Copies of this chain bind each other. A is one copy, B any other.
């Protein structure tokens, strides 16, 4: 029997998250209050986040304990399996070894539950009754809906209207866990009403949905806001992925030459790679690759500067790679990667040369996804398929070079609820996107200059 699945016992679930802020060669630039351009204080954030989360956000402590209550829920799907992709390797005739960590085993189907459970826990501890959030593709909304059901918290999800209408399966999944799902823009908030008054048929955007959720959190004392990516505490919670990978690879006496994750906001990439970057910062030879869609090329074509985290400009200014906060990427099937910027931690590490970035078009990504489905069985989420494309390319390069490598990528979620994207591909309806000349440059030129 060939060793395919490297499993750990639930006693092997990490007891601490790894905080890369403790080890970054260049410390993070602070988030700024957009009015004063001074660093945001914890107090300013406390209207929408519990203090324990704010402390994690600014912490430079290397290891942060995971509360027992969170571990008890993690046991439902963690430790997640690490697979050796024997069949994919054979299909590629590569001398390299390909491993993938599979986060789709969580009940909501992606890595997002690693942080939704933690965020729900800390909010519950702080006496909060309700969490408001936004969702585009639906992965984050469903992860938070699940977390809410475990902790008895009401969850209100503002779902981008076009997704609400096109993705009924995601909506019903959230409702099955007891969440309230509201198509955004809605008449439940001032920001929603303002948009509907101007344009009653507005289909919504992630930016608008964020505005609605933040407004609800800021104006209701018992309600907080929750974000599924980008922020330091979110990436922190995801490091259980990489910590488990290290333990699993040790069991087979292996260590990766390359670690790969797709990158939308950056949370699954951070989760799988930060524990390995700790080794790299300490001298280990290792590459980390962030993979993004050509249609939203934040790390490969964006600028590293201060910008808003949302489209409407309600958040603090963050130092990150951005295409401009009102840049609207084309509608691609990897909805979770359609974000105008990336996590500040990921961006600073790219800036410092510790993470490489690469972009792929949709066609080559779906081609890779189907090869993976037919060899490894799992139909991957379109987002995760970007990491598969890159892993396959790395394996093919190693074949040309005649050098065997050990490649690790994070399969952040399954594609069971993304079947319409596969239908589009199988029917030949998916095309690669080419930017009109100067579009990104124009969007960036609108940003205020902050030195």
Bound-state Cα–Cα, A441 to B150, Å: 47
Q: How far is the CB of A208 from chain B (nearest CB, A)?
A: 25
Give 1 or 0 for each of A391-420: 1 = CB within 8 Å of chain B CB: 000000000000000000000000011011
**A378 with B1: CB separation less than 8 A:** no
Bound-state Cα–Cα, A374 to B149, Å: 5
Bound-state Cα–Cα, A72 to B107, Å: 25
The chain B residue with its CB closest to the CB of A8 is B7
State the interface size on chain A (CB cutoff 8 A): 49
Give 1 or 0 for each of A26-40: 1 = CB within 8 Å of chain B CB: 000000000000000
**A172 with B68: CB separation less than 8 A:** no
Bound-state Cα–Cα, A145 to B31, Å: 51
| Residues on B with beta carbons closer than 8 Å to the beta carbon of A150 | 87, 377
Copies of this chain held together in the complex: 2
Give 1 or 0 for each of A165-177: 1 = CB within 8 Å of chain B CB: 0001100110111
Q: How far is the CB of A88 from chain B (nearest CB, A)?
A: 12
Give 1 or 0 for each of A8-30: 1 = CB within 8 Å of chain B CB: 11110000000000000000000
| Residues on B with beta carbons closer than 8 Å to the beta carbon of A9 | 7
**B423 with A172: CB separation less than 8 A:** yes
Known: A76-B376, A176-B426, A377-B146. A7 touches B4 (CB 8 A): no
Bound-state Cα–Cα, A317 to B110, Å: 47
With beta carbons under 8 angstroms apart, the residue of B7, B149, B378 that contacts A373 is B149
Cβ of A178 under 8 Å from chain B: yes
Query: A183-225: which have CB < 8 Å to B?
Result: none
A residues sitting closer than 8 Å to B (CB atoms) are 1-5, 7-11, 68, 71-72, 75-77, 83, 87, 105-109, 146, 149-150, 168-169, 172-173, 175-178, 370, 373-379, 416-417, 419-420, 422-423, 426
Instruction: List 5 tightest A-B contacts by C-beta distance, closest first.
Output: A107-B377, A4-B75, A169-B419, A172-B419, A149-B374
A-B contact pairs, 24 of them (CB 8 A): A1-B75, A7-B7, A7-B9, A76-B377, A106-B377, A107-B377, A149-B374, A149-B375, A168-B423, A169-B169, A169-B417, A169-B419, A172-B420, A172-B426, A173-B419, A173-B422, A175-B426, A176-B370, A176-B373, A176-B379, A176-B426, A177-B373, A177-B379, A416-B417
